[in-house]
Amino acid sequence: MTADELKSIIQAGLACESIDIEGDGRHWYATIVSAEFEGKRPIQRHQRVYATLGAKMHTDEVHALSMKTLTPAEWAARTH
């Protein structure tokens, strides 16, 4: 799987204002900004992203995914 494929899968299941993915094909690191994260705890945000990947996490197509999950307001506060 490529970074672009992984990005497309996540974007298809989650409205993202911004998404950046880096990795080596098995181990991935993503920064995901979505309004859908508003009012959710970090674990709930991660579960929401994992839900977009479905079986790909269980079949080892995506072996490991580390995430920063931010709301648009959190992202804006970090970038200013």
β strands within the chain, DSSP E: 18-23, 27-33, 64-70
Give the Cα separation of 48 and 10 in Å (integer). Answer: 10
CATH number, domain with residue 40: 3.30.300.90
What local confidence, expressed as pLDDT, does residue 78 receive? 87
Domain count within the chain: 1
Tens-place pLDDT, residues 5-55: 999 999 999 999 999 999 998 889 999 999 999 999 999 999 999 999 988
Euclidean distance between the first and final Cα of the chain, in Å?
A: 33
Tell if the pTM clears 0.85, that is, is over it.
yes
Tens-place pLDDT, residues 59-70: 878 888 999 999
Give the Cα separation of 57 and 71 in Å (integer). Answer: 24
Domain span at residue 60 reads 3-79
